[in-house]
Amino acid sequence: MKNSVTENNNRTLIIAEAGVNHNGSVELAKKLIDTAKDCGADIVKFQTAKLDSLVSKTAHMADYQKRNIGKEQSQKEMLQSLLLSYDEFIQLAEYCNQVGIKFLSTPFDIDSIHFLNDMQDIWKIPSGEITNYPYLIEIAKTGKKVILSTGMAEMDEIEAAINVLKQNGTEDITILHCTTEYPAPIHDVNLRVMETLRENFGFPVGYSDHTKGIEVDLAAVALGASVIEKHFTLDRNLPGPDHKASLEPSELKAMVEGIRKVEMALGSSQKKISDAEKKNRDVARKSIVAKKYIKKGEVLSEVNVTTKRPGTGIDPMRWNDVIGTKAIRDFNEDELIEI
């Protein structure tokens, strides 16, 4: 398998997706950065765009956006108050450096790719850009690692995007399975698609999650996700399109802690007795013992011997070595047999 964006392949890269949950406020964005750091995420991610390059005047909101915003308006009107300026993203990147968490932002247009290029060493391509050929070319030309979300995409579209990236300078790709709905219905998650993506393309895989709760994220890690991306907010009751499908701080912290426990539990694929188990073997296993009083010279048989705890005597798997031999001495009931 090709390289992963993670430096340690046994450790899941956790991206706390702030997205536009800052509601256009740098101060709120900084609080989101603090929260991501405090909860143990590896990366806090935002979204960078120039409004006029991102969306046309005629673009409609998605149904979930209408539902969460609570009113009908164009995408452009909705996004007007949610986008930060380039100067504000410079502030956020510097603040991430101060508090000790990696900054990442997804560009949604070519100008934003150029702007972010000196600020980060990984690209996160969102599901909506997977068929944007000129966008993919610009990303690939930087030669940087790519995390590619695949929501709403067919396998041939994923293959085409990967080929464009590979043919134009990208060598390191991690593919994220994703169900693009907010929140994503559990019955549409299909986590086993991660294995299909891994087998078909030979790259590491992960999961960009829009479901409620953290259960799907833990399951994804158990199935081999090398990256988990999850939206979070300070408060799900805040106005905006993505808050309601996001984790609150206590949930984000629980997700990170749960993922780290799952990683630890996955451990090694080698079957061996653990140190914790060793002390319990003699207690839980059995030995061959006298079923009743046995006189020296008496033939040992199913009539006078049996198996009982503890496991400090002859292993019951040696049953046939014992049956038919003569007792070397007198044995009291429950006494460990010797031969």
Tens-digit pLDDT profile for residues 260-294: 999 999 999 999 999 999 999 999 999 999 999 99
Q: State whether residue 214 is helix, strand or coil.
A: coil
The answer to the question of residue 136 being in a domain is yes
C-alpha–C-alpha distance, residues 231 and 44, integer Å = 10
- Based on the fold, state whether residues 200 and 326 are members of the same structural domain: no
- Based on the fold, state whether residues 106 and 88 are members of the same structural domain: yes
- Based on the fold, state whether residues 157 and 297 are members of the same structural domain: no
Higher-pLDDT residue of 267, 70 = 267
Closest to 126 measured CA to CA, from 117, 113, 115:
113
Instruction: For residue 122, give the CATH number of its domain.
Output: 3.20.20.70
The answer to the question of residue 8 being in a domain is no
- Mean pLDDT, residues 253-265: 98
- Based on the fold, state whether residues 171 and 276 are members of the same structural domain: no
Residues with Cβ < 8 Å from 52, sequence gap 6 or more? none
C-alpha–C-alpha distance, residues 195 and 311, integer Å = 43
Number of Cβ within a 10 Å radius of residue 256 = 23
* Cβ proximity of 230 and 252 under 8 Å: yes
Mean pLDDT value across the chain = 94
The answer to the question of residue 212 being in a domain is yes
**Helix (H) / strand (E) containing 209:** strand 205-209
The answer to the question of residue 7 being in a domain is no
Q: Domain end: 266, 297, 317, which one? A: 266
Closest to 195 measured CA to CA, from 208, 204, 183:
204
Closest to 32 measured CA to CA, from 304, 231, 205:
231
Quote the pLDDT of residue 3.
44
C-alpha–C-alpha distance, residues 147 and 57, integer Å = 30
- The whole domain housing 279 covers 271-339
- Based on the fold, state whether residues 42 and 86 are members of the same structural domain: yes
The answer to the question of residue 6 being in a domain is no
Q: Domain end: 266, 292, 312, which one? A: 266
- Based on the fold, state whether residues 95 and 159 are members of the same structural domain: yes
Q: Where residue 6 falls among pLDDT bands split at 50, 70, 90? A: low
Distances (CA, A) of 211 to 32, 147, 187, 194, 310: 20, 20, 10, 16, 49
The answer to the question of residue 215 being in a domain is yes
Q: What are the percentages of helix, strand and coil residues in the chain, rounded to 5? A: 40, 20, 40
How many helices, marked H, and strands, marked E, lie in the chain?
13, 10
**What does the pLDDT look like over 77-118, one tens digit per residue?**
777 778 999 999 999 999 999 999 999 999 999 999 999 999
Q: Domain end: 266, 294, 325, which one? A: 266
- Based on the fold, state whether residues 146 and 121 are members of the same structural domain: yes
Question: Which residues make beta-bridge pairs with 104?
Answer: 45
- Based on the fold, state whether residues 202 and 279 are members of the same structural domain: no
What percent of the chain lies above the pLDDT cut of 90?
Answer: 86
Distances (CA, A) of 124 to 94, 105, 229, 258: 19, 7, 10, 24
Instruction: For residue 285, give the CATH number of its domain.
Output: 3.90.1210.10
C-alpha–C-alpha distance, residues 17 and 303, integer Å = 69
Question: Which residues make beta-bridge pairs with 178?
Answer: 208
Quote the pLDDT of residue 2.
47
* Cβ proximity of 22 and 44 under 8 Å: no
pTM over 0.85: yes
Residue with the two structure tokens 């207690």: 283
- Based on the fold, state whether residues 209 and 285 are members of the same structural domain: no
* Cβ proximity of 1 and 194 under 8 Å: no
- Based on the fold, state whether residues 234 and 302 are members of the same structural domain: no
Domain count, the chain: 2
C-alpha–C-alpha distance, residues 235 and 243, integer Å = 7
- Based on the fold, state whether residues 231 and 283 are members of the same structural domain: no
Q: State whether residue 155 is helix, strand or coil.
A: helix
The answer to the question of residue 3 being in a domain is no
Residue 337 tokens, joined: 């047999």
- Based on the fold, state whether residues 236 and 315 are members of the same structural domain: no
- Cis peptide leading into 107, omega within 30 of 0? no
Quote the pLDDT of residue 5.
59
The answer to the question of residue 99 being in a domain is yes
